[in-house]
Amino acid sequence: MKWTLKKGKKRDLFQYTQRKLTVTYTWLILLFLALFAIIVSLFFLFMAYREQSDSLRSTMNATEDGRVVIPDLENGRSDELYFFYVLDKRGQVLAHSDVIPQLSDGNKEAIEKWMPEGDSFRLRWQPGQQQRYGDLMIRTDERLLFMGAHPILTTNGPATVYAAKDVTFYWDILRNLLVVFFVILIVFILVAVKLSSSMSKKAMVPIQLTFKQQQQFLADASHELRTPLSIMNTSLDVIELENGDAMTPYAKEVVTDMKEEIGRMSRMVQDLLMLARSDAGSVEFEMRAFDMVPKLRQWVLAFEGVAQKKAIALRTMLPETLTVKGDPERLKQLVYILLDNAIKYTPEAGRVDIGLDPNPRQWRIIVRDSGIGIAEADQPRIFDRFYRVEKHRSREEGSAGLGLAIAKQIVIAHRGSVVLESAPGKGSTFSVEFRV
């Protein structure tokens, strides 16, 4: 499994949250507007459908002396009605009337295969046409027809009454309404972004204030704890010097344990102080060019004794020289964290390799171990503060789960990235890449 901590600047959590809130508020406002537009459009369609269906139904049901009333459409005696037909069950025309008689063939073709058992309605687009009938040129625009069918019983048997109305006017109204909604939507997007940004800023004010107070408290507490811890450690040294011979073995063991715990607390306080300053942006990095090879040899040498206690082979793979740009002290801290973890989680008689990989575009620090490995589910969280993969073992070895969190801050400050390759029982490889 390969997991990458991407390179780039440190992400501002508050700006990220504010942007997320702005997007959320904007989408909510636009969602309500869209729902309003949909509801209005559906209500308009429903009202138009009911009005036109009622009008067509009354027209198709109109009778006089028991006969169907055939409107005279050619002479314009019926508003909006486009055609009116009566067809028997074989499709033969019993009666008809058209606004434009020359288009009767097309009208008949649209209805001759439509024979419902009850009242039925449908929409049909009729494309614009241009036809010549002798010296007469017929031109019609594209129109939307609302057609209805009504079965009847005549003296000659079953028949169906068909009627159609031109509802292009309603379509134009709906189209214009949608255009207006679209324009309003664009305006609302601008207003919503501005309003959402203002709302998200106001929502973040108390959170930012609380976080800053927490940061300040953490930095102050960490700073103030350093002095009493140093005094306690010095006091234990004095007790050992003055009463070393008179102390019982149990008392010596207690003093030794106390010194180890004080040392662990001192390291934890130092780490907390560094992270608090990093959050506040007050950690200074002295970037300069230097040769990384002799520095790394010196840093690895400090872990020789620890590695030998566990019979771990500590090997280096270094070029002759490699000039890099960075903060030597912070890079030293980064290497110490990676080596400390590698040795800590590698069983006895294992191996830990550390090397430098020079490249024209970037250079890398590689730390590889033959340890217990890291499960895939834990890998994305190992750089989180206080997160420990094996909590009981980490506690026994004095780890507070802050080392990799500090390493992450150092890598981000150097505009670098970390690639982790690990699997349980197969060891881990940390590859830290920096720009040249």
**26 vs 168, more confident:** 168
Residue 175 pLDDT > 50: yes
Cβ atoms 356, 296 nearer than 8 A: yes
**275 vs 408, more confident:** 408
Cβ atoms 231, 259 nearer than 8 A: no
- Residue-wise pLDDT tens digits, 320-367: 888 889 888 889 889 988 998 899 889 998 999 999 988 878 899 999
* Cα gap 301→304, rounded to integer Å: 5
* Cα gap 123→164, rounded to integer Å: 9
Residue 292 pLDDT > 70: yes
Q: Is 369 left (phi over 0), alpha (psi -120 to 50) or beta?
A: beta
- Residue-wise pLDDT tens digits, 215-257: 666 565 655 666 677 777 777 777 777 776 777 787 778 777 7
DSSP state, 288? E
Q: What is the pLDDT of residue 351?
A: 92
Per-residue pLDDT band at 392 (split at 50, 70, 90) = very low
Q: Buried b / exposed e across 159-189, counting CB within 10 Å, b at 16+?
A: bbbbbbbbbbebbeeeeeeeeebeeeeeebe
- Kindly state the tokens that stand for 79: 């508003």
**262 vs 133, more confident:** 262
CATH numbers and ranges of domains, the chain:
62-166 (3.30.450), 284-436 (3.30.565.10)
Longest dimension (CA), the chain: 133
* pTM more than 0.75: no
Residue 135 pLDDT > 80: no
